[in-house]
Amino acid sequence: VWRNDKFMKSMQTHKGSVFAVFLEGKWLFTGGWDKTVSVQELAGDEFEEDVIPTGAIPCGSVITALLYWQGKLFVGCADRTVKIALCNRQIPEIFSLLLHINL
């Protein structure tokens, strides 16, 4: 985790390479080789940064892209599908898979 071009903290949240990262406010979404979207909450101050794991979404394919937009998390996968999950901004643990789009 970096803040103002200064390294603050390192963490391991995946079993394998991370290919996609998206930051929305205090929520950090990451995805990669392990076919899981990991959700962390960033908290802290100018001297210390905490990374709190809050949930995970299994996706069934390697994750190559992430986008959070208007309460939805769009997950691009290596199997040429886009998965859309609803995300409650107050309680990020509550996700529901809405739709698979084959490209």
For 5, 8, 47, 85, 103, the CA distances from 55, given in Å and listed in that order, are 27, 22, 26, 13, 27
pLDDT (tens digit per residue) in 62-83: 999 999 988 888 999 999 888 8
Q: Which of 77, 37, 86 is nearest to 57 (CA)?
A: 37
pTM > 0.75: yes or no: no
- Under CATH, which number does the domain 2-102 receive? 2.40.10.480
pLDDT reading at 94 higher than 50: no
30 beta partners = 21, 38
Domain residue spans of the chain: 2-102
